[in-house]
Structure 1
Amino acid sequence: MARMHTRRRGTSGSDKPAADDPPEWSDVDEDEIEQRVVELADQGHDPSQIGMKLRDEGVTGTPVPDVKLATGKKITEILEENDAKADLPEDLRNLMERAIRLREHVQENGQDYQNKRALQNTESKVRRLVKYYRGDQLAPEFTYSYETAKELLEPDSR
């Protein structure tokens, strides 16, 4: 989303190496990986955090460089199969949390025009993502507002 609100180019990043099968040094059983993914999700970790933990810590001490290569399924697919999926997609949740923080900041600091613009841009991204997910992972009549986001992201709803 680098060029969405500015004329700047995005930051370049590295690409994953093209591989069809997991490396031989990472010979962890698929069922153990799936159990660990569900366990980490129950502890409250997001799918991206689960992937990093499996990469760094692994399962029983053996790192898992890529869950999809090892199991044939993405982390979100594993979570859906085991009914451990979050109520909101991770990217939408993160943007809503940012929008809430920005709105609270702007309410306290009314002259902060830079963050007013950041709030407008963030809420625009949220609305765009809601439109993308509506009907599939969100209710067809779901619309974004500060109040609904605040209600959805209460600490006990996670």
Structure 2
Amino acid sequence: MARMYARRRGTSSSVRPYRKEAPEWSNTDATEIEKIVVDLRKDGMSTSQIGLVLRDRYAVPDVKLATGKRIGEILREKGLESEIPEDLRNLMEKALGIRKHLAENNKDVHNKRQLQIAESKVRRLVKYYVRSGRMPKGWTYKPETAEILLTR
């Protein structure tokens, strides 16, 4: 299937091995992993950064195999979930960066198109999160208020 905003098809890439249980060499103490996840979140890390740190420093290749829960679920249980989901936050930061660039370079037509694409992705994600109940009803993306939201 083709991509939505590019004239190419998806490319094959590496796939994580299928496993039902964690490997023997990995750290599988669920309570310790949950404690590390909470500590890393309190240090200001996002869920993807937490996953990378767990993989690289603590030898946890897959948190779900070790604990039975995803990192987001652990944070939700502990009340440390961010109000804006990470993928939406990253897209909003990208759109704001492009908007800032266009304020200085207003004739950059290629990045005007990239801004349209980024903001349409943001709106589509917001629609999904509102529908799924993760974001409050009636929440909409406004570039003027997005910068304030991201600094919190």
TM-score normalised by the chain length of structure 2: 0.94
Instruction: For residue 35 of structure 1, report the CA deviation from its aligned partner.
Output: 0.3
> For the residues of structure 2 that align with 1:124 and 1:85, how far apart are their CA atoms?
25
1:33 aligns with 2:33: yes
In structure 2, stretches of 5+ residues that fail to align are none
Query: What is the CA RMSD across the aligned residues, in angstroms?
Result: 1.2
Give the partner amino acid of 1:55. Answer: R
Aligned length: 150
Q: Which secondary structure state, in structure 2, belongs to the residue aligned with residue 143 of structure 1?
A: coil
- Matched residue type, 1:56: D
**1:7 Cα shift?**
1.8
Q: Which runs of 5+ in 1 are unaligned?
A: none
Post-superposition shift, 1:10? 2.7
Q: Offset of 1:108 from its aligned partner?
A: 1.0
In structure 2, which of residues 135, 142, 145 is the aligned counterpart of residue 145 of structure 1? Answer: 142
**Which AA in structure 2 matches 1:19?**
R
Q: Which of 107, 118, 121 is 1:122 aligned to?
A: 118
Checking the alignment, whether the CA contact within 8 Å between 2:28 and 2:67 is kept in structure 1 is no
Which 4+ residue blocks in structure 1 deviate beyond 6 angstroms?
none
Matched, 1:49 2:46: no
Distance apart, 1:44 and its partner CA: 0.9
- For residues 104-128 of structure 1, what are the alpha-carbon distances to aligned partners after superposition, in whole Å with 9 as ceiling and x for unaligned? 1111101100100000000000000
So what's the TM-score if we normalise by structure 1? 0.91
Percent identity between the two aligned chains: 55
Asked if residue 79 in structure 1 is aligned to residue 63 in structure 2, the reply is no
Structure 1: distance between partners of 2:5 and 2:145: 25
Partner of 1:64 in structure 2? 60
- State the shift of 1:27 in Å: 4.0
